[in-house]
Amino acid sequence: MSDTALLPQGTAPIKKQYLLANTPAPIPDDDAAEGSTSHFIGKAGDANNVDDARNESSGPRRKKWSKEERKNKRGANKGRRFQKVRDELELCWKVAVGKPCEFGSECRNTHDIKAYLAAKPKDIRFPASDTLSSSPPFVNNSGQDDPMSGDDPASIDWSVKCPVYETIGECKHGLKCRFLGGHARKENGEIILTADDTKKATTAIAETEVNFVGPDTLKLIRSKKFPHPKADAYLKELEAQNENGKGKDSQTTTTELVVIAEPEPDAADHQISAQTTVTPAEKTEELSQVDTPDVPTRFTEKKRLDWKGKTYLAPLTTVGNLPFRRLCVDYGADITCGEMGLANSFLQGSKEEWSLVRRHPSERIFGVQLAGNKPSLLVPAAETIGTICEGNLDFVDINCGCPIDLVYKQGSGSALLDAANKLGKIIVGMNRALGDVPVTVKLRTGVKEGRNTAHKLMPRLGPEWGAAALTLHGRTRQQRYTKLADWDYIQQCVQAAREREAEEDLPPVPIFGGGDVYSSQDYWEKLDSSGVDGIMIGRGALIKPWIFTEIKEHREWDISSRERLDLLRKYAEYGLNHFGSDTPGVNTTRRYLCEAMSFQYRYVPIGLLEVLPGRLNDRPPPFQGRDELETLLASPDSRDWVKVSELFLGPAPESWTFTPKHKSNAYGAEESQG
């Protein structure tokens, strides 16, 4: 009998030679990197509470937690605060890029370049892939010593390369860039910024993020002046129908009115608006809150989603940010979806919410996910997103799975599973508002444990309301991550949806399942046995972003520690390109890199396992890796994650703190997620 056979069930079967027998597991110290004044930012009930991370740029706001709020934060680390790290001396950004500043001497930031560069910390060396190694110090930077070191100003290292400049041929942070030596030269005592025009021209399309929402647009949205005529017309239609006395008992079945792929004349909307008197906003609100009867469905010409055989990276709040999605695309993810955004916050013009629609051009099939509790929020939010992101949006997903109390109690997320008629109106309205952009739905199996309901809801979503794709996470809201996803039930739901489509002679919509998939073998077995068109991958991708390669190549990849370090290097590079290469950008990148490592350290290298494939929920006993780097990358200590970040991003400033989103020692502490 092997040693591991004696270990309790659910223990990862690590080969004897790697086990640190009788050595207690290191106690994860998630507070190590946290400053003494950590407090949660954001108001209770505030939409942005869902992801405090997005408030990074806001000032600290202290608040007392009610008992209920404390419960809601269970499993997550309380007291997370991420303040923007700034330069000691702030240089005016216009001066930083060589432009005149209209405020002149009145500008609140310095224009004294010499003083700024004298106070600035030394440039950071971003390591090239071929300088990484699996033994300490893990990056070999020798031979790159700055020939002019000691030169004036001492902060510039002329031998560094700026990861942003190297990608796009220019760096918009100019003198503020922490890799300044990569795009500057000294001429007659002056620092001159350089640009690579050829690179700029060749990378313009492949590297420029899209769906950037500027301050003028946000202002329009905030002042309620951004038009959403289709949503307005639809909401009036709902209201008129309600006034016509159709109550809950006189529901209109919509099936006979379904016309798939028949273009809806725009005139119809105008007609409706002309005929109906203006509705007071309050009234619409009131109407849309009740689970009112169905309205006739008229589908616009929609793009059909051909997702069969494609890999799908799940939407992941905070950790599923744009640099992470890019990384997963590199490893083979075909479909990506932004982090859950709240319809309400979109309509309030929240900068943080609108940052969630950003897309990198490498994301081939990209969607935005919305959460909300009524048509009067979700439909105008969808139309606004559709208008702003026109041409750069492949689908909009409705979140019907988020379990957190703050969302659920407002009737959003998984609460919509129990409000079928309202959900129907939301889907129909969003479909109209979005024109040819398809609407998809992500759901859980039900709300209460032991009371699955998705098999009743799923057959209605496509045929009755026009959902273009469905993803089913095989757990109830109550179940969360404590038990395995129910793949037998996923199969039942697929069958129920397919039967309805067959009865009505409708083409099948893509159905994706999700839950616990962690290896290529598991992926293909579950795909075959459940009948889904594909599987959405969440934690599997967070712990091992290369899972998409494994799936596509039908193999389990014993990835080396050096390759994993290179993956983190790539993530840092993408982070700097997205968040910026100035001091705040570097430290935001560092923060998200640590956030990513708070999942990636959980990977147990498969070369260390006695039995393959590895399983997501298996807990490893303390082990050592095959080399020092492998051991380091398995460390649950957040101070080690910061150390790894320093290989790419230089020393973390003293003022910089980090507390992971989830308690790192709490496997299955993802309860507070969707």
Ligand X SMILES: Cc1cc2nc3c(=O)[nH]c(=O)nc-3n(C[C@H](O)[C@H](O)[C@H](O)COP(=O)(O)O)c2cc1C
The residue from 193, 258, 316, 382 that contacts ligand X (CB under 6 A) is 316
In the complex, the smallest distance separating the C-beta of residue 672 from ligand X, rounded to whole angstroms, is 8
DSSP, residue by residue, 59-114: PP---PPPHHHHHHTTTBPSS---PPP--SSPBPHHHHTT---TTGGG-SSB--HH
Q: Annotate each residue in 538-577 with x if it binds ligand X (CB under 6 A) or - if it does not, as one string.
A: xxx-------------------------------------
Stretch that binds ligand X, among 308-316, 342-350, 603-611, 643-651 (CB under 6 A): 308-316
For ligand X, the closer of residues 463 and 660 by Cβ is: 660
Contact positions with ligand X (CB under 6 A) in 284-303: none
The residue from 28, 169, 386, 401 that contacts ligand X (CB under 6 A) is 401
Q: For residue 299, give the nearest of 432, 472, 136 by alpha carbon.
A: 432
Q: For residue 467, give the nearest of 509, 421, 517 by alpha carbon.
A: 509
In the complex, the smallest distance separating the C-beta of residue 451 from ligand X, rounded to whole angstroms, is 19
List the Cα angle 575/578/584 in 5-degree steps: 75
* 177 included as an active-site residue: no
From 92, 337, 402, 493, active-site residue: 402
Residue 473 interacting with ligand X (CB under 6 A): yes
Cis peptide before 403 (omega within 30 of 0): no
The residue from 12, 340, 342, 426 that contacts ligand X (CB under 6 A) is 340
The residue from 174, 514, 625, 636 that contacts ligand X (CB under 6 A) is 514
Cis peptide before 137 (omega within 30 of 0): yes
Residue 509 and residue 498: Cα distance in Å, rounded? 9
Q: Which residues does 39 contact at the CB level (< 8 Å), separation at least 6?
A: 60, 61, 62, 63, 79, 81
Cβ neighbours around 17 below 10 Å, total: 9
For ligand X, the closer of residues 399 and 530 by Cβ is: 399
For ligand X, the closer of residues 299 and 599 by Cβ is: 599
Residue 533 and residue 630: Cα distance in Å, rounded? 35
**Residue listed under structure tokens 């039930």:** 489
Q: Which residues does 659 contact at the CB level (< 8 Å), separation at least 6?
A: 30, 31, 33, 34, 38, 77, 79, 80, 81, 638
Three-state DSSP state, 364: coil
Residue 442 interacting with ligand X (CB under 6 A): yes
In the complex, the smallest distance separating the C-beta of residue 246 from ligand X, rounded to whole angstroms, is 32
User: For ligand X, how many residues bind (rule: CB under 6 A)?
Assistant: 23
Residue 431 interacting with ligand X (CB under 6 A): no
Q: Annotate each residue in 367-396 with x if it binds ligand X (CB under 6 A) or - if it does not, as one string.
A: --x---------------------------
Residue 515 and residue 486: Cα distance in Å, rounded? 8
In the complex, the smallest distance separating the C-beta of residue 543 from ligand X, rounded to whole angstroms, is 9
Residue 328 and residue 334: Cα distance in Å, rounded? 9
Q: Do residues 294 and 423 lie in contact, with contact meaning Cβ atoms separated by under 8 Å?
A: no
The residue from 30, 353, 670, 671 that contacts ligand X (CB under 6 A) is 670
The residue from 34, 516, 522, 595 that contacts ligand X (CB under 6 A) is 516
Residue 319 interacting with ligand X (CB under 6 A): yes
Residue 339 interacting with ligand X (CB under 6 A): yes
Residue 47 interacting with ligand X (CB under 6 A): no
Catalytic residues: 402
Residues in contact with ligand X by the rule CB under 6 A: 314-317, 319, 339-340, 369, 399, 401, 442, 473, 514-517, 537-540, 670, 673-674
